[in-house]
Structure 1
Amino acid sequence: MSDDSTAETADDNAQSDEAAGLAEGDFVTLEYTARTVEDGSLVDTTSQEIADEEGVGEDEEFEPRTIVLGEGHLFEPVEEAVIGADVGDEGSAVVDAEDAFGAYDEEEVRTVSANKIPEDDRYPGAHVDVDGEHGHVETIIGGRARVDFNHPLAGEDVEYEYEVVDTVDDREAKAESLLETMLGMDLDVWFQTDVEEEEEVVDDPEDLEESEELDDEDGPVTETVEVEKDTLYIEATPQLSMNQQWMMGKQQIAQQFIDLLDIDRIIVQETLGEGAGMMGGMGGMMGGMGGAGGGDLEEALEDADVDADELAEELDVDEA
């Protein structure tokens, strides 16, 4: 094949990739509004104007939302419609009831004791929690209540109208958008490459220099090596520590960040007060296999320019 033919093939492939549009794994910002097909009731929107018109979310801010295609951040039919699109494209997608909020199940309408419902909520239409299930009251007769435990939108087909606003390529912007999508929180984040020492098993101990000591001949031979850790730092806040989704699923959320951002680990950093000194930043750490870690005390003392021996002597004097 000639050089000209090779160049033409490369150009054709590049044009083909460009023409393919958005793909799974892309971070894309969407403007969308979802309504029920039957009567047009508002289900969800990113438009402040529509939210104001509908009188919903008075204390909320509505703006375009960034999702990761293929990660289930929106219903699958919507994501499938967006895949292959380009920035600026508009479209619509209908999500069948079964794929949206489920088919309506008559058996989920049950009679319960009215005593299980708070007295202030004993009226038709009230949203209640009974034995860990959420539902709404249909009727109350005597000491019995008829409660519908179906999702309020069960049995409803939902239509999404969307516009592809932009794509996100910056890593910090990706991390911030993931936090907003998963936790509904705006937190400070930054990336940093840390160099740390780790023990590594040596496949061929003869490769080690003679001056190095070998481990027990029955055990593995290791050496200390420096490794780089691509780390995402998240500035912890009181709101984060109280976030239910974070508390219940931080390991799963961390793993998604690690996979989607191609990093080694996440460190959640807490800074206490102004100039928090050596205690600032010794927060929890999460890696691919989970588990929490903090700073090493000796390293922390070195970073804070504190002599460990002098500190120990001072403590002995104080105790005396």
Structure 2
Amino acid sequence: MAVNEGDFIKLRFTGSYDDVVFDTTEEEKAREEGLYNEKKTYGPIIVRVGGNHIIPGLDEALQGKEVGESGTVEVPPEKGYGAHDESLLKSAPLKNFAQKPVVGTRISSEGQDGTVVNIIGKRAVIDFNHPLAGRTLTYEYTIDGIVEEPIEKVKGLIELYTGKNMDVELNEGILTIILPPGINYDQRWMMARGMLIHQTFEFIPEIMEIILKESYKRPAPVEEPVVEAEEPEAPVVEDAPVSEEQNE
């Protein structure tokens, strides 16, 4: 079966540049390359072909391929993370940093993420380009299958945008997403929620209504440990010495 634009698929991949691996869905590969993250779930991801869920160069390469097919594609900067923009190189005095920065330090400023790429005198040079901007990327990929069930598509979108596995229920077109306790304090969820809802309606026509359900259970009472009183030990009575008169 060929993959077409609009299909939800299960995809495995490893991305690299100049033989340096920067991302992978394979746990063993992540461990080999020193990229393993214990908070990340490894294995195939679910994406919609043509849905801007992966970079354009890889997305385009998947269209027309067969389920089960593996391949390699080179992605130029214009179909990856764009050209390197020199205007996004900024400098800042070292005194502006809470801790003295070094080359490679990641920072966030005015909603932009950047990397310190040089220290010149008392100033740090910060690159606000994406770390992979200007690079030609190589992706090795395998298409594991096409996803047909609406509920599996939803789960794929949730994990793609939030990095979390959430329980979902689908009944007569009404989708209920069971939110983990405290999720509203999660910045990634707050930023992704709107896009998740929008794409669920846009890409999964079987869903007519979405309910976000957050519930809490009363904590079980903490039982005080029962400490049994220890009985006092009987005094040890030593045998009294017997006199010679008593023996008579």
- TM-score of the superposition, structure 2-length normalised? 0.79
Q: Shift of the alpha carbon at 1:180? A: 0.8
Indicate how the Cα distance of structure 1 residues 126 and 249 shifts in structure 2: closer, same or farther if over 3 A, else same.
closer
| Distance in 2 (alpha carbons) for counterparts of 1:74 and 1:65 | 11
Provide the secondary structure at the position in 2 that maps to 1:232.
strand
Instruction: Determine which structure has greater relative contact order: mean sequence separation of CA pairs < 8 Å that are 6+ residues apart, divided by chain length.
Output: 2
| Distance in 2 (alpha carbons) for counterparts of 1:22 and 1:52 | 30
- Alignment correspondent of 1:57: 36
- Alignment correspondent of 1:77: 57
- Say whether 1:163 aligns with 2:142: yes
Q: How does 1:115-264 map to 2 (within 5 A)?
A: 115-119=95-99, 121-193=100-172, 230-238=173-181, 240-262=183-205, 263-264=207-208
How far does the alpha carbon of each residue in 1:27-59 deviate from its partner, in whole angstroms, 9 at most, with x for none?
A: 1001111111xx211121111111010011231
Q: Find the partner of 1:48 among 27, 33, 39.
A: 27
- Alignment correspondent of 1:4: none
| Distance in 2 (alpha carbons) for counterparts of 1:255 and 1:139 | 41
Q: Shift of the alpha carbon at 1:182? A: 1.6
Uncovered stretches (5+) of structure 1, i.e. residues with no partner: 1-17, 194-229, 275-320
8 Å contact from structure 1 (residues 92, 162) kept in 2: yes
- Alignment correspondent of 2:6: 25
Q: Shift of the alpha carbon at 1:159? A: 1.1
How far does the alpha carbon of each residue in 1:46-92 deviate from its partner, in whole angstroms, 9 at most, with x for none?
A: 11111010011231332111111110111122122211122111112
| Distance in 2 (alpha carbons) for counterparts of 1:100 and 1:159 | 10
Provide the secondary structure at the position in 2 that maps to 1:62.
coil
8 Å contact from structure 2 (residues 12, 45) kept in 1: yes
- Alignment correspondent of 1:3: none
Runs of 4+ aligned residues of structure 1 deviating over 6 Å after TM superposition are: none
Is 145-154 or 183-192 further displaced after alignment?
A: 145-154
Among all aligned residue pairs of Structure 1 and Structure 2, give the percentage whose two residues are the same amino acid: 32
Provide the secondary structure at the position in 2 that maps to 1:238.
coil
8 Å contact from structure 1 (residues 30, 164) kept in 2: yes
**How many equivalent residue pairs?**
216
| Distance in 2 (alpha carbons) for counterparts of 1:182 and 1:241 | 15
Say which one has the larger Rg. Answer: 2
Indicate how the Cα distance of structure 1 residues 143 and 44 shifts in structure 2: closer, same or farther if over 3 A, else same.
same
- Alignment correspondent of 1:67: 47
Name the one with the larger helix percent: 1
How far does the alpha carbon of each residue in 1:120-149 deviate from its partner, in whole angstroms, 9 at most, with x for none?
A: x42232222234332222333454222222
8 Å contact from structure 1 (residues 117, 128) kept in 2: no
- Say whether 1:108 aligns with 2:52: no
- Alignment correspondent of 2:79: 99
| Distance in 1 (alpha carbons) for counterparts of 2:140 and 2:182 | 33
How far does the alpha carbon of each residue in 1:177-232 deviate from its partner, in whole angstroms, 9 at most, with x for none?
A: 11111211100001112xxxxxxxxxxxxxxxxxxxxxxxxxxxxxxxxxxxx211
8 Å contact from structure 1 (residues 171, 261) kept in 2: yes
- Alignment correspondent of 1:318: none
CA RMSD of aligned residues (A): 1.9
8 Å contact from structure 1 (residues 113, 144) kept in 2: yes
8 Å contact from structure 2 (residues 56, 80) kept in 1: no
Uncovered stretches (5+) of structure 2, i.e. residues with no partner: 219-248
8 Å contact from structure 2 (residues 106, 115) kept in 1: yes
8 Å contact from structure 1 (residues 35, 43) kept in 2: yes
